[in-house]
Amino acid sequence: MVKQERAARTRHALVKAAAVEFDRAGYEGTSLARISETAGISMGALTFHFRTKGELAVAVQRLGRSATQDVVTRVAAHPAPALQSVIALTLELARLLEKEASVRAAARLTREMPATTAATAWYPAWTHTVDELLEQARDGELRPGTDLRTVAALVAHLVAGAETHIRCRVPHTEHQSADAQLAQLWRLVLRGVSANPT
Amino acid sequence: MVKQERAARTRHALVKAAAVEFDRAGYEGTSLARISETAGISMGALTFHFRTKGELAVAVQRLGRSATQDVVTRVAAHPAPALQSVIALTLELARLLEKEASVRAAARLTREMPATTAATAWYPAWTHTVDELLEQARDGELRPGTDLRTVAALVAHLVAGAETHIRCRVPHTEHQSADAQLAQLWRLVLRGVSANPT
């Protein structure tokens, strides 16, 4: 029992260290030796728990998805108009990306691992809920005739932009947190940019 | 003269190979040995032209910025309402990201190299022109009271989203090219998402 607990703790420490490394250096740039060093756990113990870098990457994606799903559950449980919930979810995701290496690593690994599937990728951990909320928002909240798939794609682009913002502070956004920036963008997107929309 | 030409050709081949590798494996995941292999040029010749990986990365960023600036110049020269030019520029950037490894590498290296400055980063190669165009669009084209910096940040988020879209085909966008997707998003953004904007 104590032995099992110790093993679980070692596994968790390895996955946390791997998250930091994958977030910082990417899939190709991360080595098992470096993860072992960051975790302060021997290579022998590491390879006992994870035989390959790919196995560790999947464990990191799982950790990042799990933190993401907690946020999704929390936002979905909060009573609010559906479109407001979509916005709140994107702001929570921006905060989570800013705070959690495992979430940033999960997003990054989705881009960098060719073998990433819907079960391990980061986006599907939250986009299904966005789809459901948009379906609810269709009557009365969204402008009539708005295509739901296009709104869903816009949401995905904004969250991807927030991640980029966090990683490299794109121009005009240097002095804002990613979620404060996103809240401003939403105000613009809700009412529209054009003086003469066609 | 012939010798100089040969040297220039070798340099160019090395930078092109480095662009492919930095795009694929990122800064940390790329080695000089791998670039030498991809280019089919000996390590001796490589290190004669570029002493470090950092030098090659800067050369790749320069190549990607130069291709980007060509597109910026072309769009800016085309007579059109300023807001339309901003949209056209983002679509051209999406096509360029889809087509050119050096441009994708420049965007990726901006995220991954801590020492990236405004002179080497990818975003400043085109965001200044966006700023100028938005300034022109302020009277008559943009909805009155729209904050230009927020529109500029929205443009940056959309282009970052397009890059992510190209790298991992986010949900709802799998079957579209990045520029076709972006054109749809702009139609939505111009007229606004909300049925009851405040």
Computed over every residue of chain B, the mean pLDDT equals 92
**Alpha carbon separation from B35 to B9, B21, B39, B115 (Å, rounded):** 15, 7, 6, 21
In this structure, which amino acid lies at residue B184? Q
Segment among A89-98, B80-89, B173-182 with least mean pLDDT: B173-182
In this structure, which amino acid lies at residue A152? A
The CATH superfamily assigned to B2-191 is Tetracycline Repressor, domain 2 (1.10.357.10)
- Of A186, A189, A183, A181, which is closest to residue A146 (Cα–Cα)? A189
Mean pLDDT of B124-142: 95
Please indicate whether residue A34 or residue B198 has the higher confidence score (pLDDT).
A34
Choose the closest CB to B164 out of A111, A127, A147.
Answer: A111
Output the pLDDT for position B2. Answer: 85
Would the pLDDT of A26 be above 70? yes
Give the A:B interface size as CB pairs under 8 Å: 207
Give the span between the Cα atoms of B162 and A46, in whole angstroms: 37
Size of chain B in residues: 198
Mean pLDDT of B129-152: 94
Per the CB < 8 Å rule, is B156 touching A163?
A: no
Choose the closest CB to A29 out of B26, B159, B192.
Answer: B26
Computed over every residue of chain A, the mean pLDDT equals 92
Mean pLDDT of B10-25: 97
Confidence at A176, pLDDT banded by 50, 70, 90: confident
Structure tokens at A120: 């391990």
Output the pLDDT for position B169. Answer: 62
Percent of chain A having pLDDT more than 70?
Answer: 94
Rounded to a whole number, what is the distance in Å from the CA of A7 to chain B's nearest CA?
30
A54-92 pLDDT, tens digit per residue, is 999 999 999 999 999 999 999 999 989 999 999 999 999
- Of B143, B150, B148, B153, which is closest to residue B132 (Cα–Cα)? B148
- What is the domain partition of chain B in residue ranges? 2-191
Contacts of B35 (CB under 8 A, 6+ apart): B14, B17, B18, B21, B46, B56
Do A33 and A43 contact (CB within 8 A), yes or no? yes
Give the span between the Cα atoms of A159 and A89, in whole angstroms: 10
Confidence at B195, pLDDT banded by 50, 70, 90: confident
Q: How far is CA B133 from the centre of its chain?
A: 18
Q: Which residue of A has its CA nearest to B153?
A: A172
Choose the closest CB to A83 out of B160, B190, B194.
Answer: B194
Mean pLDDT of B20-33: 96
Give the span between the Cα atoms of B34 and A114, in whole angstroms: 19
Output the pLDDT for position A1. Answer: 65
Three-state DSSP state, A142: strand
Give the span between the Cα atoms of A146 and A143, in whole angstroms: 6
Torsion sign (Cα): B172, B174, B176, B181: positive
Percent of chain A having pLDDT more than 90?
Answer: 83
B114-127 pLDDT, tens digit per residue, is 667 777 899 999 99
B52 backbone φψ class: left, alpha, beta (φ>0; ψ -120 to 50): beta
Per the CB < 8 Å rule, is A190 touching B172?
A: no
Output the pLDDT for position B168. Answer: 83
Strand partners, B142: A194
Output the pLDDT for position B174. Answer: 58
Choose the closest CB to B167 out of A30, A111, A188.
Answer: A111
Per the CB < 8 Å rule, is A26 touching B28?
A: yes
Do A127 and A110 contact (CB within 8 A), yes or no? no
In this structure, which amino acid lies at residue B196? N
Would the pLDDT of B12 be above 80? yes
Give the span between the Cα atoms of A183 and A89, in whole angstroms: 11
Phi and psi (nearest 5°) for B132?
A: -65, -45
Contacts of B5 (CB under 8 A, 6+ apart): none
User: Taking the CA atoms of chain A, what radius of gyration do you get in angstroms?
Assistant: 19
Percent of chain B having pLDDT more than 90?
Answer: 83
A92 backbone φψ class: left, alpha, beta (φ>0; ψ -120 to 50): alpha
Output the pLDDT for position B172. Answer: 53
Output the pLDDT for position A197. Answer: 81
A100-150 pLDDT, tens digit per residue, is 999 999 999 999 986 677 778 999 999 999 999 999 999 899 999 999 999
Mean pLDDT of B141-153: 94
Strand partners, B194: A142
Structure tokens at B31: 């080695």
Structure tokens at A198: 């066609």
B39-97 pLDDT, tens digit per residue, is 999 999 999 999 999 999 999 999 999 999 999 999 999 989 999 999 999 999 999 99
In this structure, which amino acid lies at residue A58? V
Q: Which residue of B has its CA nearest to A131?
A: B172
Give the span between the Cα atoms of B185 and A188, in whole angstroms: 13
Output the pLDDT for position B173. Answer: 54
